[in-house]
Amino acid sequence: MKVLGLVSSPRRYGNSELAAKELLRSLPDGWEKRMIRLSDLDLAPCKACYACLAREGKSCVLRDDMDFVLEHMLWADKIAIAAPCYILGAHDGVQRLIGRLMPVMERYPSFAGKQCALAISYGLHGWEGMAREEMLKIPQCLGMGLAGAAMLEAIMPGDSVRGENLQSLRELAKALEGPCGGEPYTPEGDTLLCPYCRSRLLTIKPDRNWRCVLCDGGGAIVEGPQGFSLEADGQAGNRFTAERRVGHEKQLQEAKRRFIEHKAEIKELQGEYRQDSWWVAP
């Protein structure tokens, strides 16, 4: 079995690196283990050129370290991603990786059967923000199984591998060691999670229906003896099903076709705004 640890933090031996190493050391000794520090890599921001929509089976046109990351993600059977929460969101290294997933999403069958675990450290109680949900995009967009996500309150270096956090990481490692598609590690027993993608970002409607902002799954809010629960609408599914992935790709291809068809008209419209120049430079 092969496992890859991705660390998104510039801090050497900080909470994210220690959490990733604890996950890997908790896995069997016979497994082949590798680690990559995303902040050490050249991951350029997406140029929004949409060239990838016409490059089936090919990589992004940007020549940087993204292919290196993908090569190792495809090599691994299990992937552990550790990142800190910065200003209520996931660290920039994770954001840059997510921003470059567009040309990879069509290759999701290559990631099927792989399993992903997430470890998110944050400094102050209640300040975990949306880092967990942002990091959930990676396994969901790539079609990987989710072993679970550990939320680690860790303000001082080393806190991520002490006390309850250490126990959480070891339980997460057990879930990662198990079969893909097994029961994910979810320490938030008192939190309603999307039954499709395990997100907490839910839109609650007055008619007691709910919709997941991340995966677009939905259903009804049901009250029972133990309180409220989320009932999934099996007909609606979610945006990460194979059928809806294909539909999304077709929509993007159609949008590109319409852009080419109306390129002159769009350029004329843009020209009306070229005279407005209020840019400032340092």
Question: Is residue 57's pLDDT more than 60?
Answer: no
pTM here? 0.90
Count other C-beta atoms under 10 Å from residue 248's C-beta: 14
pLDDT at 82: 97
Among 184, 207, 206, smallest CA distance to 194 is for: 184
Band of the pLDDT at 236, cuts 50, 70, 90?
low
Query: Mean pLDDT over residues 146-169, rounded?
Result: 95
pLDDT at 121: 96
Band of the pLDDT at 117, cuts 50, 70, 90?
very high
pLDDT at 25: 97
Instruction: Out of 181-195, 243-257, 265-279, give the one with best mean pLDDT.
Output: 265-279
Distance set, CA 49 to CA 27, 115, 255, 268, 271 (Å): 41, 31, 13, 19, 19
Question: Is residue 111's pLDDT more than 80?
Answer: yes
Band of the pLDDT at 54, cuts 50, 70, 90?
low
29-46 confidence digits (pLDDT tens): 999 999 999 999 999 988
Distance set, CA 11 to CA 39, 86, 117 (Å): 9, 13, 21
Query: Mean pLDDT over residues 125-150, rounded?
Result: 93
Long-range contacts of 219-225 (CB under 8 A, 24+ apart): 219/195
Query: Mean pLDDT over residues 91-104, rounded?
Result: 88
Question: Is residue 56's pLDDT more than 70?
Answer: no
What is the rounded distance in angstroms from the CA atom of residue 9 to the CA atom of residue 16?
Answer: 7
More confident residue, 214 or 105: 214
Mean pLDDT rounded to a whole number for the chain: 90
pLDDT at 126: 87
